[in-house]
Structure 1
Amino acid sequence: MTHVVSPSEQRTAVAVVARLIERHYVFAQDARTYEDALRAGVRLDDTVPAADFCRAATEALRSIDRHFAVTWGTSETVLRVTTTPDDGPAITADVVGSVGVLAVRVFDDADAPAAREVARAAAQELEGCASVIVDLRANPGGWPSMVEYLLAPFLGAHPVHVVTFRSTRAPARMAWTRPDPDLPDLSRVRVIVVVDQHTASAAESFAYALQTTGRATVVGERTAGAANPVELFTDPTGPAVYIPTGAPIDPRSGTNWDHVGVRPDVGAPSGDALAVARDLSTVAAPPSG
C-alpha cells in the first residue's frame, strides 16, 4: 500500500529534515537555509505519496549538496567497501621492461595484516622500475589506512600529510603516509595514475594526493567526486535523511574532490587510458615535487 503524506505532515517533515541537517551536516548553516530550499522545491498544499515528497525534497537539497537524500521510514546500513577471499588479490603488480603497473581494485584495511602483506608484496615487485602506472579504474574506494600505506613509497621516507578529516562527531584528525622499511623506495620513479568515472572515494583520495603534491600525472576520465562520508538520520515522525558528516581536506589545495572529482591532467576514455599512460611512461619527464 502506498504511503501518503498530508500537507501538515510535509510541513513537519520539512522542519525535521532541516533541523537534522543543521545538527549533523559537516558544513552546517542555520536550519532556515535548508527549510527555504525545501519549501522552494516541495509542494505543501496537497496530499502526495511519500515517495514523491522524498523525491522533490532530495532534488531541492541537492542544490546545496549532492550527497543529501530524503527517504521515509528507512533504516539501512551502509557497508564499507572491502574484498572477500573469492575476489582475488585487491592489489597486483605487473612489470614489463622498466615500467610497472600497480592495479588496485579496492583499498582494503592496511591495519589488517593479510591486506598489508598483499600490498607489500605487490609494491616490492616495482623495485627497480623507472616508471610506475597506478591503475585505479573502477576502484570504488575502501579504507584510508591503505591509501596512507600505499602512498608512502611514492612520497618518501618521512610521513607526508595526506588530508585532515573534519567531522561533526569528533575533533579534526590529520592523516599521514605510513612509511614502511619493507616497502621499496619509489620516490624518484615516474608516476602516472589512471582513473575513470568509476574511481571513487578512497581511490580518489590516493590520486588527488599524488596530484596535489606534484608527484604524479593523472590520466583518464574525471572521477566520481565522492569525498564526504554520509550517515542516515531518522526521526520518529517518518522522514529520514542521508547527511554528509565529514570531509577530508587536502592541506595543499584547502579543499577536496567532492562534487568535482579528480580532474585528469591528460584526458582519455577509460578503455584507452592505460595505453595512453604506457605511452607517457616512456616519454614524460618525472614531475617535480
Structure 2
Amino acid sequence: MPTNEQIIGQALDRIDAGYVFPEMTIEIGAAIRRRLAAGQYDELAGPVLCQLVTKHLQEVCPDKHLRMLWVDEPQSLDPADADDGRNAFLALLRAENQGIRRVEHLDGNVGLIDIRRIAYADEGASAIGAAMQLVAHSSALILDLRACRGGAPEGAAMWCSYFFPDDQVHLNDIYERSTGATRQFWTTAHLPAPRYADRPVYVLTSPITFSGGEDVAYTLQAHGRAVLVGETTRGGAHPTARHAVTEHILVTVPTARTINTVTGTNWEGVGVIPDLSVPADQALDAALKAALGRLGA
C-alpha cells in the first residue's frame, strides 16, 4: 500500500512531466511538497485526500483541469494499459448514448438536443449524426450544454461542423506541450447527416458547462454561428491526460491548450460568457422565446 508521500510524489512527477505550462511546475511542486512535509496530508485517505490536494493545486495554479481524483472502479497500473483515460471515457460514452441525453421537437418547429458529454468523433459520429438527422427539418435549433461536463476536441469539432456549409472553416488549434506541435481543427468534410448551416442556432450554458462543452459553445459563438443563452461557464480550456497513480487515484494533467482562430485565445479561467445572460434554469425558455421571435412565430 503506497504512502501518501508516494502517491502525491507520483502525481507531482506526472504534472512536472506533462503540464502544458512547464514554467508553473516548479511552483506547484514546491507548494504541495511544503504541505506534505508539514504533515497536512498525514491522516487523510481516499476522496478526502484527493479533494484537499486538488484544492491546494488549484490555489497555486487555477487550472480547473489540474486535479487528483478518486475513482471507485479500480484502474490498471500496468504501463502497457496507459491510454490517458481514453478507454475509460469510451466506456462511459457507450453507457451514456455517446453523451446525447435527448432530442426533442419543440413548439414552432424548434429542435432541441441535450448533450451531456462530447464524444470522440470516430465512435460518436453515428450517434451525433442520428441526433442531427432528427432535427434536420427544424426551423431553428437549441443545443442544451447546461449539463455538459466535457469530452473530446475531435468530437467538439464534429458537432461544430454541422453548423457551417463546408470543410473550409478553420475552427481552432491545439498546442501540445509533449511534441511542441500545433494541431489544426477544421470543419469536417463528410458528415453522416445533413448540415444545419442556414438556420438559427442557440446554445444553453451554465456554470456546470465545462471543457469540451465549452469548446462547442465558444467556437460557435466566436465564429458568429450561435447565440449563447444562460450563465457563464466553468472555464476549462486545456485538453487533459488522466494517469493512474493507484488503483483508485488518478491525476489529471492538462497537456495542451486551445487557441481559437477568431479570438486568438480561449476561455481558460474566465469561462464562456453568454450573449443573453439569464439564470441557467430559465435558459431554455429564453432561447425558445428568442427563436420563435426570430422566426416570426
Q: Distance in 2 between matches of 1:128 and 1:50?
A: 59
Q: For 1:24-35, what aligned pairs fall within 5 Å after superposition?
A: 24-29=18-23, 31-35=25-29
Q: Deviations over 1:203-257 (max 9, x none)?
A: 211111101111111111222323321433759xxx9854222222222222222
Q: Distance in 2 between matches of 1:4 and 1:91?
A: 42
Aligned to 2:219: 209
Q: Does 1:102 align with 2:113?
A: yes
Task: Name the Cα RMSD after superposition.
Answer: 3.9
* TM-aligned CA deviation for residue 201 of structure 1: 2.2
* TM-aligned CA deviation for residue 273 of structure 1: 1.0
Whether the 8 Å contact between 2:110 and 2:141 is mirrored in structure 1 is yes
Question: For the structure 1 residues 86 and 179, does the alpha-carbon distance in structure 2 shift closer, same or farther, using more than 3 Å as the test?
Answer: closer
Question: For the structure 1 residues 179 and 101, does the alpha-carbon distance in structure 2 shift closer, same or farther, using more than 3 Å as the test?
Answer: farther
Aligned to 2:17: 23
Q: Deviations over 1:60-117 (max 9, x none)?
A: 4313134334589xx85743241327899656242533422233233333313xx433
Give the SS at the match of 1:62: helix
Pick one of 259, 273, 279 that aligns with 1:263: 273
Structure 1 window deviating more from structure 2 (52-61 vs 194-203): it is 52-61
Question: For the structure 1 residues 89 and 167, does the alpha-carbon distance in structure 2 shift closer, same or farther, using more than 3 Å as the test?
Answer: closer
Question: For the structure 1 residues 215 and 20, does the alpha-carbon distance in structure 2 shift closer, same or farther, using more than 3 Å as the test?
Answer: same
Computing the radius of gyration from Cα coordinates, the structure with the larger value is: 1
Structure 1 window deviating more from structure 2 (45-54 vs 276-285): it is 45-54
Whether the 8 Å contact between 1:133 and 1:194 is mirrored in structure 2 is yes
Whether the 8 Å contact between 2:172 and 2:261 is mirrored in structure 1 is yes
Give the SS at the match of 1:132: strand
Q: Distance in 1 between matches of 2:69 and 2:163?
A: 43
Q: Does 1:49 align with 2:30?
A: no
Question: For the structure 1 residues 2 and 181, does the alpha-carbon distance in structure 2 shift closer, same or farther, using more than 3 Å as the test?
Answer: closer
TM-score (norm 2): 0.73
Q: Deviations over 1:14-73 (max 9, x none)?
A: 7x876653332111116543355446x62745686163987765444313134334589x
Q: For 1:1-289, what aligned pairs fall within 5 Å after superposition?
A: 20-29=14-23, 31-38=25-32, 42=35, 44=37, 49=42, 51=44, 58-63=54-59, 64=61, 65-69=63-67, 76=75, 78=85, 79-80=88-89, 81-84=92-95, 90=101, 92-112=103-123, 115-170=124-179, 171-180=181-190, 183-228=193-238, 229-232=240-243, 234=245, 241-284=251-294
Whether the 8 Å contact between 1:24 and 1:243 is mirrored in structure 2 is yes
Q: Distance in 2 between matches of 1:2 and 1:120?
A: 46
Give the SS at the match of 2:22: coil
Give the SS at the match of 2:189: coil
Structure 1 segments unaligned to the other structure (5+ residues): none
Q: Distance in 2 between matches of 1:60 and 1:89?
A: 34
Q: Deviations over 1:150-181 (max 9, x none)?
A: 21221221332222222233432112221336
Aligned sequence identity (%): 27
| Structure richer in helix, relative to its length | 2
* TM-aligned CA deviation for residue 281 of structure 1: 0.8
Whether the 8 Å contact between 1:71 and 1:240 is mirrored in structure 2 is yes
- Number of corresponding residues: 272
Q: Distance in 1 between matches of 2:158 and 2:209?
A: 19
Question: In the alignment, residue 58 of structure 2 is paired with which amino acid?
Answer: R
Give the SS at the match of 1:49: coil
Question: In the alignment, residue 205 of structure 2 is paired with which amino acid?
Answer: V
Whether the 8 Å contact between 1:3 and 1:50 is mirrored in structure 2 is no
Q: Distance in 2 between matches of 1:109 and 1:174?
A: 16
Structure 2 segments unaligned to the other structure (5+ residues): 77-84
Q: Deviations over 1:113-160 (max 9, x none)?
A: xx4333223323333433221112212233333322221221221332
